[in-house]
Amino acid sequence: MAIDLQAKIPNNVDLATDPKLQRALEHWQPKFQDWWRETGPSDFREDQIYLRTAVGVGKGGWANFDFVKMPDYRWGIFLAEPEADRKIHFGDPVGQPAWNVVPGELRNRLRRLVVTQADTEPASVEQQRLLGHTAPSLIDLRNLFQVNVEEGRHLWAMVYLLHKYFGADGRDEAEDLLRRRSGNADNPRILQAFNKPVQDWLTFFCFTAFTDRDGKYQLAALAESGFDPLARSTQFMLTEEAHHLSVGENGVGRVVQRTAELMEQGTDPRSVGAIPLDIIQKYVNDWSTSSFDLFGGEDSSNAAEAFSCGLKGRYREGDGLYKDPKALDQIYTTQIEESGKLATLEIPLRRAMNALLLDAYHADCARIVDRWNRTLAKHHIDRKITLPSLRFNRQIGIHGGKTYDPAGNPLSRDEWESKKGEWFTTESDREYVRSCMVRVTEPNKFANWVAPPAAGIHDKPVEFEYVKFH
């Protein structure tokens, strides 16, 4: 696939051969830049940041690392290489050639999926807008901005699909994506977790550990899609997403490590501006459970339709993990509170696609929490971070509105109310965490609440000057 890096919009989709589409996207470009100025990282515009920019999609050599001022970042449109004669590999149309145009009857459903995916990208940039001012180190500041610019690129990836395949409706949707605002009462972002405030770095690390991880699973399910341009867009987005997840996993891990080091030497973390384990646990409770909600209902006719018509597959569907590509005549079994006790609930498999994806996600979250717990054990701390049950604190789906403890045992509403202060942050916890957020701007220096990372970025050491202030 030809890569055009000199074009106004860098791309590997032959934009130059489609002048109408090119014009439409070039018309959207300044609006995107206005949106970035208005709601993207506040300040830091003149600073040189050591950033990765996508310049192609080939394995091993897809990105360039260099100093860039964020407003000059080259947001481009890149789709993974096409696979010759690709066939749809799940749902009712299994075995048919993958689509390169949108089948008319699937248009609305597909547009809804693309818009929902797209909406999360600018939302996260808006949520993280002010964090640069309290970055605990230069490398963390750089990582924040790396995540932000790439979420901006993911918006471009989805807006390309809207413009190219959805005509005037798609162009309207692309405009609306720049109009909605995270947390705005009148015009909020679509999914709930993307309207929550992200005001401190422990939240940022939990967000990138848990909420970006939802991104990984949703993108992976869309990368199975029978609509080939969506599959190829999301495949390449996953390549960039891996770094965002490591920022979160390692970020929380470094907070845990710092707290563990202090506890091991008998110092109360609070006495030195570091974060006690019980507060870390409360943040984990909050962000893991609001990320569970991002999977939609466990029993969902939307999810059944998206699977049946070949638009959204199961996690790693293409790797042959599942016996029946049609997922017919099978039952998904789970447990739900009924009259104060757990009872078995059976859901036809096709309707349980969100639940299946959520199970895979939960297992992945358990893996990262285990890793944090190994750090505690290494420092001889006899405590653990726990990942809540999928039933805990749910607003969406079969458990929405029911009350369970973090292990998933049913509780009365009164018990829940009396315990919730132990499980979720209070204003004073959040205020304490905010008070720890001191800005550090010297290379190789770190705020006292977070350990340095184990490694630097690309081929640079941790002590490298990742941001050069103007």
Contact, 384 vs 371, CB < 8 A?
no
What is the rounded distance in angstroms from the CA atom of residue 236 to the CA atom of residue 258? 34
Cβ–Cβ under 8 Å, residues 393 and 210: no
SS3 of residue 280 by DSSP: helix
Going from the C-alpha of 112 to that of each of 103, 208, 347, the distances in angstroms are 14, 24, 24
List the interface residues with ligand BYC, window 354-373 (CB under 6 A).
Answer: 354
Range 107-126, binding ligand BYC (CB under 6 A): 112-113, 116-117, 120-121, 124
Minimum Å gap between C-beta 180 and ligand BYC is: 13
Burial of 265 by CB count in 10 Å (0-12 exposed, 13-18 middle, 19+ buried)?
exposed
Q: Residue 126 corresponds to which tokens in the numbers above?
A: 């808006």
Residue-wise DSSP of 52-119? EEE---STT--EEEEEEEGGG----B--PPPPTT-B--SSTTTTSBPBSS--GGGHHHHHHHHHHHHH
x/- contact string, 238-277, with ligand BYC (CB under 6 A)? ----------------------------------------
Site string for ligand BYC, 388-417 (x = CB under 6 A): --------x---------------------
Length of the chain: 470
Partners of residue 332 on adjacent β-strands: 347
In the complex, which residue's CB is closest to ligand BYC? Answer: 296
We find the least distance from the C-beta atom of residue 117 to ligand BYC, in angstroms, to be: 4
List 54, 57, 191, 433, residue binding ligand BYC (CB under 6 A): 191
What's the closest the beta carbon of residue 304 comes to ligand BYC, in angstroms? Answer: 8
In the range 285-304, which residues lie near ligand BYC by CB under 6 A?
293-297, 300, 302-303
**120 or 259: CB nearest ligand BYC:** 120
Residues 201-220 that bind ligand BYC (CB under 6 A): 211-212, 214-215, 218
Taking the complex as a whole, the smallest distance from the CB of residue 50 to ligand BYC amounts, in Å, to 21
- Output the CA torsion sign for 382, 383, 387, 391: positive
- Count of residues of this chain found to bind ligand BYC when the rule CB under 6 A is applied: 26
Among 47, 126, 150, 151, binds ligand BYC (CB under 6 A): 151
Q: How many CB atoms lie within 10 A of CB 240?
A: 22
CA pair distance 353, 217, nearest whole angstrom: 12
Compare residues 25 and 303 and give the one whose CB is closer to ligand BYC: 303
Residues that bind ligand BYC (CB under 6 A): 112-113, 116-117, 120-121, 124, 151, 191-192, 211-212, 214-215, 218, 293-297, 300, 302-303, 312, 354, 396
